[in-house]
């Protein structure tokens, strides 16, 4: 079963809380009971649209923003061995 998409109203309230009211993404996420990554992505997408960022630049910004995860992801990949049956 797939998760339901977030409503436009929730998206607008999250973006307003972050961009207009100055709340941090973690506080906004807790306030609206969503994941922090969801609040960050709503913010990133709205800023991209406002600033006319093209797809290639957007992908670079997202990868750069999440680059601190890659060393940990590499560690997890090497530490977990999976054997198909």
Which pLDDT tens digits describe the chain residue by residue (85 residues)? 667 788 989 988 998 998 889 889 999 999 999 999 899 888 888 877 777 767 777 777 666 666 655 555 454 444 444 455 5
Domain count, the chain: 1
Calpha distance 7→5 (Å, rounded): 6
**Whole-structure pTM value:** 0.58
Asked if residue 84 belongs to a domain, the reply is no
Calpha distance 79→44 (Å, rounded): 32
Distances (CA, A) of 30 to 39, 66, 76, 84: 10, 20, 27, 38
Asked if residue 37 belongs to a domain, the reply is yes
Asked if residue 52 belongs to a domain, the reply is yes
Structural domain boundaries enclosing 28: 8-79
Provide the token pair at 27.
Answer: 């506080």
Asked if residue 55 belongs to a domain, the reply is yes
């Amino acid at each position: 079963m797939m998760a339901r998409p977030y409503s436009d109203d929730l998206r607008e309230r999250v973006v307003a809380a972050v961009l207009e009211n100055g709340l941090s993404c973690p506080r906004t996420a807790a306030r609206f009971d969503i994941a922090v990554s969801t609040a960050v992505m709503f913010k990133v997408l709205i800023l991209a649209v406002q600033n006319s960022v093209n797809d290639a630049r957007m992908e670079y910004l997202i990868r750069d923003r999440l680059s601190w995860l890659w060393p940990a992801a590499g560690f997890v990949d090497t530490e977990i061995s999976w054997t198909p049956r």
